[in-house]
Amino acid sequence: QVQLVESGGGLVQAGGSLRLSCAASGFIFSINTMDWYRQAPEKQREWVATITSDGITNYSDSVKGRFTISRDNAKNTVWLQMNSLKPEDTAVYSCRVRIWRDRIWRHYWGQGTQVTVSS
């Protein structure tokens, strides 16, 4: 089994910062891309950022310049540093990890962590 455990969400004022983490555990042979997504109330899930195994990053326009995704391959962990937070960043944030398992690549999701930004 593979588990993704997220932490770091919470309540913060606009302009503040939070750092989310997502740690993968279990039988993991290899991890490819690691992503963060978010879903605000009554909205569709939205892609936020991706980091490849080589450290190449990509961000949605809505967070570019404010959020930073990073990873530690040895710890199977991905982080999302969120700065200059805005009320519209309020959402449940979930990590998604692409893992080689049983001879195919599979996506696994974390349980989600709530981020609330007050104005």
Q: Per-residue confidence at 110, pLDDT binned at 50, 70, 90?
A: very high
The CA-based dihedral angle spanning residues 68, 28, 98, 2, taken in that order and rounded to the nearest 10 degrees: -90
Instruction: Reduce the secondary structure of 69-88 to three states and give it as a string.
Output: EEEECCCCEEEEEECCCCHH
Query: Mean of the pLDDT values across residues 61-65?
Result: 98
DSSP annotation of 61? T
User: Residue 8: is its pLDDT beyond 90?
Assistant: yes
pLDDT above 90 (res 101): no
State the pLDDT at residue 27: 84
**Of 42, 34, 50, 17, whose CA–CA distance to 117 is shortest?**
17
Q: Work out the mean pLDDT of the chain and round it to a whole number.
A: 96
Query: Residue 1 pLDDT > 90, yes or no?
Result: no
The pLDDT score that the predictor gives to residue 87 is: 97
pLDDT over 90 (residue 28):
no
